[in-house]
Amino acid sequence: MNKILKKALVSEKSFSVIGESKYTFIVERQARKEEIATICESLFNVNVTDINTMNYKGKVKMSKTGRGKRSDLKKAIITVKKGQKIDLFDLETEKKEDKKDKAAKKDKVEKATKEEKNTDTTVKVREKKK
């Protein structure tokens, strides 16, 4: 995306606050709020009203070969003016809706094939030999 904005954070919590015009990004650790605001306004053509930033230290994890550390990161929650949207997050929600539609269609097809199998089967009863 940019040197300051690394990527959009896609999680259940970040999608739940989109209705409040809040969008979550992973940003460069040295980035200041003013820099983040100007980049967002120029890239997405929106008016930024507020920015909340959080610094996270990476966890230390153990493995077979020894210790490892996840990378440190900085998260920014960007609030835009009401009625404005950032298109990146709309694409993600559309993809989720497409997956749900595909799953629903698949379920319908499976139900139809099961019904066809049930109607086509006939049971033959053998008579006992005396």
- Segments forming the whole domain that contains residue 85: 5-91
pLDDT value at 19 more than 90: no
Cα gap 24→52, rounded to integer Å: 9
Note whether residue 96 is domain-resident: no
Model pTM score: 0.64
Inside any domain, residue 13? yes
**Tens-place pLDDT, residues 32-73:** 999 999 999 999 999 999 999 999 999 999 988 899 999 999
Model pLDDT, residue 54: 96
Asked whether residue 17 is assigned to any structural domain, the reply reads yes
* pLDDT, mean of residues 18-23: 90
Q: Tell me the CA distances in angstroms from 113 to 108, 119, 123, one per residue in order.
A: 9, 10, 19
Q: Looking at the domain assignment, is residue 108 inside a domain?
A: no
Radius of gyration of the chain (CA): 26
Q: How many domains would you assign to the chain?
A: 1
pLDDT for residue 90: 64
Strands 5-8 and 66-69: unpaired
pLDDT confidence band for 97 (50 / 70 / 90): low
- The CATH number linked to 74 is 3.30.70.330
